[in-house]
Amino acid sequence: MGFADLRDLPYPWDTLTDVRATAAAHPGGMVDLSVGTPVDPTPRVVREALAAASDAPGYPLTYGTAALRERVADWFARRRGVPDLDPAGVMPTVGSKELVGLLPSLLRLGGGDVVVHPEIAYPTYDVGARLAGATPLPADDVAAWAGRSDVRLVWVNSPSNPTGAVAGVDHLRSVVAAAREIGAVVVSDECYAELPWDAPWVGGGGTSRVPSLLDPRVTGGSTEGLLVAYSLSKQSSIAGYRAAFVAGDPALVGDLVATRKHLGMIVPAPVQAAMIAALGDDEHVAAQRERYRRRREALLPALRSAGYAVDSSEAGLYLWTRRADDGAGERADGRAGPTSRDLARELAHRGILVGPGEFYGAAGAHHVRIALTASDDAVTAAVGRITAS
């Protein structure tokens, strides 16, 4: 599959027309818990920085300003347990999705190359591989691809979208070791790392202990062949800014910068200034995390009381949900359990729109993804509908 073939690949959310219509017909209106779009106000510190930098007549740097790259390095040291990150290995991106979708192409992968991604995964990992003409390989077990010379890129997603599962240091270290043996690049999508909920991933004051791919315990002291993708959309409520970055191996980043200069893929200067402000202010991140925690603590018991089970979901913005009497797609009496579409329709009849797990791979066929990104009033309404007899 290449560029032309992607025109025939339906965008998953466009296939929910009937389910959306059912939810919208609810007498109280629809509560949308499907796409993880932030709804809370952008923090003042970020908006003021954007406004102050709005006089920007010249072209910004593809590489990003030195101040931004240094701020990212400082943030990694302060918040992610990654000291001494080289600012030369940092580049802003136009949101993280464009990087995920285009990275195989930017790395010049093509026919005969394999891109590994999690079995339950954000669909853009698969799409990005196909766009480049490479072959996607869903695999959670390192043994499924270790030693293969055709594997050129390995995606890690921790905390996971959609499941919220967190990869520990030992697993990350095994991925890095196996990839380095075959010369593959490892990229970790860590966009939800500041949103941990359960032990052992929560430190004092709710701070994150989610390990980064760039953690020295994982890397052995070298970022060679390693990149982290990160977005400020969720933690700073600036999805509309398309503010993200990639960080890690300076050689890989330098190669990406050189290619992106030709393509004009540049983060606007005012957005770069806003990113500097956002990364330097921990207070608004803590406040936003508290909002999501409050909504999670309302939805989680409601779902359980209504006969649903929530798997993983120890971090991130989603509750990975199935019927409690449904194991791996099969009930205790041997009958097939409800599909993710069945569950989505079930909740749509209560006026709640959620994301079918099938969007994230075959392994998600009996789950739905329920987002925490709705207002307090909307979540309260959802809780009432879920628990109603």
List pLDDT tens digits, range 335-368: 567 999 999 999 999 999 999 999 999 999 999 9
The terminus-to-terminus CA distance of the chain in angstroms comes to 47
What confidence tier does 334 reach under pLDDT thresholds 50, 70, 90? very low
**Strands 226-231 and 243-248, bridge-based pairing:** antiparallel
Domains and CATH numbers, the chain: 4-41+284-387 (3.90.1150.10), 44-281 (3.40.640.10)
> For residues 132 and 3, what is the distance between their CA atoms, to the nearest angstrom?
8
Model confidence at 2, pLDDT cuts 50, 70, 90, reads low
Tell whether the model's pLDDT for residue 6 goes beyond 70: no
Task: Name residue, tokens 């939810």.
Answer: 23
Give the pTM: 0.93
What angle separates helix 17-24 from helix 340-348, to the nearest 10 degrees? Answer: 20
- What tokens appear for 368 in the block? 């739905």
Per-residue pLDDT of 193-230, as tens digits, reads 999 999 999 988 778 999 999 999 999 999 999 999 99
> Contact, 236 vs 278, CB < 8 A?
yes
Report yes or no: 260 and 64 within 8 Å, Cβ to Cβ. no
For residue 22, what are the contacts with CB-CB under 8 A and spacing of at least 6? 345, 348, 349
Helix (H, G, I), strand (E, B) or coil at 31: strand
The band of 380, judged by pLDDT with boundaries at 50, 70 and 90, is very high
Residue 125 φ then ψ, to 5°: -60, -45
Residue 359 Cα distances to 122, 152, 323, 355, angstroms: 8, 25, 18, 8
Distance CA 53, CA 178 (A): 44
Q: Distance between CA 278 and CA 208 in Å, rounded? A: 17
- Of residues 328 and 237, which shows the higher confidence score? 237
**Rounded to whole angstroms, how far apart are CA atoms 155 and 189?**
7
Q: Classify residue 28 by its DSSP letter.
A: T
Asked whether the predicted pLDDT for residue 60 surpasses 60, the reply is yes
Indicate the DSSP class of residue 63: T
Residues 6+ apart with CB under 8 A from 135: 112, 113, 114, 115, 129
- Comparing 65-69, 154-158, 240-244, 330-334, the range with the smallest average pLDDT is 330-334
Q: When comparing pLDDT for 35 and 98, which is higher? A: 98
In single-letter form, the type of residue at position 107 comes to: L
User: In the structure encoding, which two tokens stand for residue 49, read together?
Assistant: 């920085």
Count CB-CB contacts under 10 A for residue 351. 20
